[in-house]
Amino acid sequence: MNIETLEDFYVELEKIDWVSLKDYDNPVREICKKFGEYCNENGKVELLPVIQLELDLTNFVLIKNEIKPMMTGTDKDGNYTEYPSVSIITEDQIDYIKKRADSVLNDFLKVRYAHISWLLPNRHSKFAQMALGSYIQLLKINFEKLDEEDNKGIGGKIHAQLLNMVFLAQSFKTERKEEIKQLIIEFASKIKPESKNKYLFIWIIRLMIETPKLFKADDLVPFTNKIWDILNQHSSQHSKIDVAKVGIDFSNKTNQDKKNWYRKIAECYEQLSYEREDGANLVAVSFASHAVDYYKKIKDKVKVEELTKRYKYLKENMNLDEFHHKVDVTEIYNECRKIADKVLEKTPFEIYIYLMYSNDILPTFDELNEKAINKKISNPLEFHVLKSIIDHSGHAAEYFSDEDEIIRSIILEEMNWSIQFSRRILIQEIFFRGIDSNKLNTETFISFLRNYSWLGQNIKRTYKQGKTEEYSWLTLIAPAINDYFSQIYFYFMNNNNIPNFVLCIDSLAIKIEGILRDICEITDGTTFFFTKDKKNRDIVREKDINALLHDEAIVQHFSKDDLLFLKFLLVEKAGLNLRNNVAHSLFLYINNYSIDFIHLLIIAILKIAKDENSPLKNKK
């Protein structure tokens, strides 16, 4: 390869046979490297930007009529980076790309120059037409070579080109849409169920389903049996499930019965539950659960009952590995005692204010979020692994998969660690020693809330037929508060009086939901929702705490710190989930009712009672 001039460079690029390349090799890289070395050695450095641009243009990812970088990431300072970058392309470079689109003969290069020209500023429809023509030519050539043994990866190229061609055709006015439609139908018709590229047929069907402006139901109906034929060619249960899920979308599009697709998916998940049964049974449990869901869809009561029993058996025989590590908290305990010493020198009023506001009591959202971001930088692998929460009954209660979900899971994990290893010790020191010194008791707590918080005020609301009712939340939570202080007091009097926090935890965990409902209603949120009964009649239901804590009125009412804590304590499955565990009677042992829970519930009451959290301050 002898490249000494720009003309030589262009000639070499024209020679590339992109169809015959394995996978996604980029021969432009080698051509650019050789010409770049020649230019450096011979003082032709003014050509280096052109060489770099040519390389960049073949490295851009074109998908669904969008231009994207090949790689994204962060630098050592955590700043976003990408290569290649559309944002740094200059107007002179845009003019160069357009000229190359006009002059180049190689269809692959032409399609890239033309399509990129269409997606950059100051575009003209001639480049869209040019790219569309080249896509059609490339697809015809590629499809003829689809079943050749040495063309590994060509199916992926065809799929990408199909997506670009279809989405490009829908982005401007063109008379070639019917030609494109018939070309795709022809491709789908020629792929044989036993072909090694049968997955391409499923991709094409999915594309036809997702582009209703181009393909109608009548275009899809002839392929019904072929989807089944391809499904039956697969030996993998997972592959069968993937095909069957496309079959469900296909049936929705063509208005056909989905029952057989549901049954096939249920059978595949059932088979997987047996294939993956092992000592842990974690995966087998999940597959059995999915099988139940799909058998329910077809109302197969026999199979639902059978798989439900199997799910229960697998769950009860799960054997997950446990990891134990002893942590010496002596230093933390000593530091907490020092802080408690200073706090307990204050008056009861000042102690309650400290519990209500101090960042020593609970971590802030910002510090937890910063830890999560740092973890993303230091351990990016965690953001590419599906995480799940297994509740104490062995059920998969929640999954975290995308970046936002995993960030949230890390925030909740970090909050849990922070509370378990330090904050709970400080809170316990303050409460125990405060009660022992008689600074903290029922009288001082109730007096504090009555005189310095909105929870001590009367709330008046109107309900059906214009009737009103007046009440105070303080009178409703006071019995639980009194029970807590009494339990601790009698324990100090005689250590044989083991505290029992069942009543006070049950009461406060439920009462907080009512307080939040009032806050939502008073601040003009919506505390109910419309639904249908079994006979499709309109009915109204009250929102539960899970919905309330996500209502915009509540989200806007509380600070990020207080809202995070309330969710963590009451409803987050990756948190303590206290309200749901209490409401559904999932705490079956006295030891479930931890003293840390009652302390955190009292902290929650204090957080809600803050003056800035009062829903009454702007009401007459």
User: Is residue 577 a contact partner of residue 536, using CB atoms and an 8 Å limit?
Assistant: no
Report mean pLDDT in 10-residue bins for the chain, 620 residues.
89 82 72 93 93 92 90 77 90 94 91 93 92 92 76 78 92 91 92 87 93 92 94 92 94 94 95 85 83 93 92 77 62 90 94 94 92 77 58 58 80 90 92 94 95 89 73 93 93 87 95 93 86 83 89 92 95 89 88 93 96 76
Distance CA 307, CA 291 (A): 7
Residue-level pLDDT at 164: 92
Helix or strand run (H / E) with residue 341: helix 330-343
Q: Measured between alpha carbons, how far apart are the two ends of the chain, in Å?
A: 86
Dump pLDDT digits (tens) for 258-291: 999 999 999 999 999 999 887 777 778 888 988 9
Alpha carbons within 13 angstroms on the beta-carbon side of residue 225 total 3
Which residue type is seen at 526? T
Burial of 47 (0-12, 13-18, 19+ CB in 10 A): middle
Backbone angles phi, psi at 534, to 5 degrees: -65, -20
Distance CA 74, CA 71 (A): 10
Phi-psi region of 466 (alpha: psi -120 to 50; beta: other; left: phi over 0): left
Backbone angles phi, psi at 99, to 5 degrees: -65, -40
DSSP 136-164: HHHHHHHHHTTT-TT-TTHHHHHHHHHHH
Phi-psi region of 13 (alpha: psi -120 to 50; beta: other; left: phi over 0): alpha
How far does Cα 599 stand from its chain's mean position?
32
pTM: 0.59
β-pair partners for 71: 83
Distance CA 286, CA 310 (A): 11
Backbone angles phi, psi at 369, to 5 degrees: -65, -40
Structure-token pair, residue 272: 């997987």
Residue-level pLDDT at 144: 84
User: Is residue 336 a contact partner of residue 424, using CB atoms and an 8 Å limit?
Assistant: no
How far does Cα 354 stand from its chain's mean position?
36
Residue-level pLDDT at 380: 66
User: Is residue 332 a contact partner of residue 425, using CB atoms and an 8 Å limit?
Assistant: yes
Which residue type is seen at 443? E
How far does Cα 238 stand from its chain's mean position?
22
Which residue type is seen at 273? S
Distance CA 318, CA 395 (A): 10
Tell me 54's DSSP state.
H
Q: Which residue has 């202080």 as its token pair? A: 485
Cβ neighbours of residue 598 under 8 Å, at least 6 residues apart?
A: 484, 501, 504, 505, 508
